[in-house]
A and B are shown apart, each in its own frame.
Chain A
Amino acid sequence: MSDTATARSEGDERTITGKAIRLEGVTKRYPGQQRPAVDGVTLEIPAGQVVMLVGPSGCGKTTTLKMINRLIEPTEGRIVLGEEDVTDIDGDDLRRRIGYVIQAGGLFPHMTVAQNIAIVPKMLGWDDARVKERTTELLDLVSLDPDTYRDRYPKELSGGQQQRVGVARALAADPPVLLMDEPFGAVDPITRQRLQDELIRIQHELRKTIVIVTHDFDEAVKLGDWIVVFREGAHIAQYDTPERILAEPADEFVESFIGSGAGLKQLGLQRVRDVDLAEAVTARPGDSAADALARAEAAGHGHVVVVDERDRPLSWPSRRALQRMTSIPEAADPKTPVVGSGATLNDALDEMLVSSAGAALVTGHRGAFVGVITVEVVMAAISAVRAAASDAMAGAPVGTNASDPAARGSDG
């Protein structure tokens, strides 16, 4: 792993376990088609980063992705993984070293969760004890209780759980690279948001090189360190950070692809933990309602946050509601707007829209209440992000097509 480097300038000391990927002038021509599906793409995917491939349907995202692990053989060009040219090595061998996740997980229905995860390690000749240990570790990593889920069959799992197992299977042999083709396309929006958060957390821990195809621009903004916007034939319209693509789309094509509400999309860039949270008056079940009310009035707050013995929010009654109570109720109110501190401002805004308070409760470690995020804070964040994005970013990775006259270099 000669290319293993320490993390980038973000002040993160975790070691990158991913390897860089380089596509050099890669072209794919399907038989009987005049125009190539992928036309001379040169693309640098930095080690340990998440690169999102977006673009209109049929533009060649999937073809590009599948040429990285040579599920589709390129017609022309080289593929380099780390320092190694993998264009001509055995394809199966290559694919055992690259994780691959597709929509809905693509699990083997006739194998248990554990057997699904064990496939690649077994092919690589790991012994049983090591495989078993790894399976447990991976189920933990994707937040599935090993004892509950190990022996289940895929049909006994929800869509989101299947997707988690698919990710665990892809990570089984600890590959430096993970390829995902619309991984969260088949699950409902709430599950999708959870799985995205989960992936962010996993990536935070593992620092793989991850390439994700998506048609959801918001997802690209949320997950990507870099976004490649393709047009027809996998022509790169722009390859840049989410911030820069939102703030300075390269041309009308990119602009129209981002769609309206670029300002709102920038909310997907910032985490709740990055903004200032408001304080709140808290109370516990069984406390005197009059006392809590008095404290809220003294602090000038309209609501009181009820937390349980481990400080997890239960409900968020208004002063008016408190006036009708004698003691604080124990029941958890399922309509309480709660977001994790790792959630994006976008997710927080979603949560607020359903809350009458125009704000949401923020939870941190182990679900403990840490503060309140308000709609004003979110609005201020939009303006701040817009200003910051204009600062030029040096050292952007290369992404060009051979046939484009004005090929973009690493520094514009």
Chain B
Amino acid sequence: MSYETDGVGNNMGEFVTGRVGEIAFASVQHLSLVAQSLVIATVLGVGIAALVYRNATFSAVANGVTAIGLTIPAFALIGLMVAPLGFGVTPAVVVVVFYAVLPILRNAVVGLAGVDQAVVESARGIGMSRFRTFWRVELPIAWPVILSGVRISGQMVMGIAAVAAFVLGPGLGGLIFQGLSRMGGAGSIESIVTAVVGVIVLALVLDLALLAIGRLTTPKGIRV
């Protein structure tokens, strides 16, 4: 047991030092893919939520789509994207955004629907337009709930983003595919473990960043 651990440890060390440049590059690409997808997903999720949250039926549909969407295997979805979108970054972004939207959408609907109606009424009552009421009152008040959706999304799609490698997209997924394709061969396990550890570290980094963004963007009056 101890021999094997040592062996893996030694090999891990060699693996990482030998390919530090490649790993660092893949990590940055991975984080960048996730971060940009999260931005797009936040805009989309909040946008869709803004269209549906006032209507009980639409909100129920949105929640249903969210629940079903999360059950679709990421591999299947990215496979389906190859035909229309080809290989590379585009299908990877589409798939990551798709999964990232779901928790954000659900939280945004909950958050916006949870804004005290009295507050909305008084905003309208003093002459704020529908749009201004949404932008200046409802969105800021719902923001902490939306942001916790963004954090859930970030954690979730950090792993999902690895499938991007399937369409030759960017990120740490490449190391996993290399390992899988040479399963049993030299360095295959090390490759996979490196990718997994990398994903976990990136997820922590991202979460801390989102936490900081949350502190900065949550109005003081509604901070808990």
Contact = CB atoms under 8 A, between A and B. Distances in A.
Contacts of A95: 124-127
A104 interface: yes
Interface string A148-179: 00000111000000000010011000000001
A110 B221 contact: yes
B121 A123 contact: no
A92 interface: yes
Interface in B93-141: 118-119, 121-129, 132, 137, 140-141
A93 B127 contact: yes
A100 B221 contact: no
Nearest to A179: B125
Question: Which one of B123, B125, B129 has the highest number of Cβ atoms from chain A below 10 Å of its Cβ?
Answer: B125
B19 interface: no
A155 B141 CA distance: 13
Nearest to A152: B221
Interface residues of B, number: 19
Given A71-B125, A96-B127, A106 B222 contact: no
A103 interface: yes
A69 B125 contact: yes
A92 B130 CA distance: 9
A109 B124 contact: no
Contact of A102 (B122, B127, B141): B122
B79 interface: no
Nearest to A155: B221
Given A93-B127, A95-B127, A120-B126, A109 B118 contact: no
A30 interface: no
Contacts of B125: 69, 71, 95, 100, 102, 106, 179
A111 interface: yes
Interface residues of A, number: 33
Contacts of B126: 95-96, 99-100, 119-120, 169-170
Contacts of B221: 108-112, 153-155
Contacts, number: 71
Contacts of B86: none
A108 B137 contact: yes
A101 B221 CA distance: 21
Most chain A beta-carbon contacts within 10 A, residue among B118, B122, B126, B219: B126
A123 B131 CA distance: 13
B119 A109 contact: yes
A409 B119 CA distance: 39
A100 B220 contact: no
A169 B123 CA distance: 11
Nearest to B133: A92
Given A92-B129, A119-B128, A154-B221, A108 B118 contact: no
Contacts of B124: 71, 95
Contact of A111 (B118, B121, B219): B219
Contacts of B121: 71, 102, 106
Contacts of A153: 220-221
A96 B132 CA distance: 13
A92 B128 contact: yes
Contacts of A71: 121, 124-125
A109 B122 contact: no
A102 B118 contact: yes
Nearest to B115: A109
A69 B137 CA distance: 20
Contacts of A112: 221
B222 A110 contact: yes
A51 to B, nearest CB: 18
Contacts of A119: 126, 128
A110 B122 contact: no
Most buried by B among A99, A100, A108: A108
A120 B118 contact: no
Contacts of A100: 122, 125-126
Determine which residue in A94, A97, A119, A166 has the highest number of CB atoms from chain B within 10 A of its CB, and name it: A119
22 contacts: A71-B121, A92-B127, A93-B127, A94-B127, A95-B124, A96-B126, A96-B127, A98-B127, A100-B126, A101-B122, A102-B122, A103-B118, A104-B118, A106-B121, A109-B221, A111-B219, A111-B221, A112-B221, A119-B128, A120-B126, A155-B221, A169-B126
Interface of A: 69, 71, 92-112, 119-120, 123, 153-155, 166, 169-170, 179
Q: Which 5 A-B pairs have the closest CB atoms?
A: A106-B122, A96-B127, A153-B221, A100-B125, A110-B219
Given A69-B125, A96-B127, 9 more contacts: A100-B126, A102-B121, A103-B118, A104-B118, A106-B122, A109-B221, A110-B137, A120-B127, A166-B122
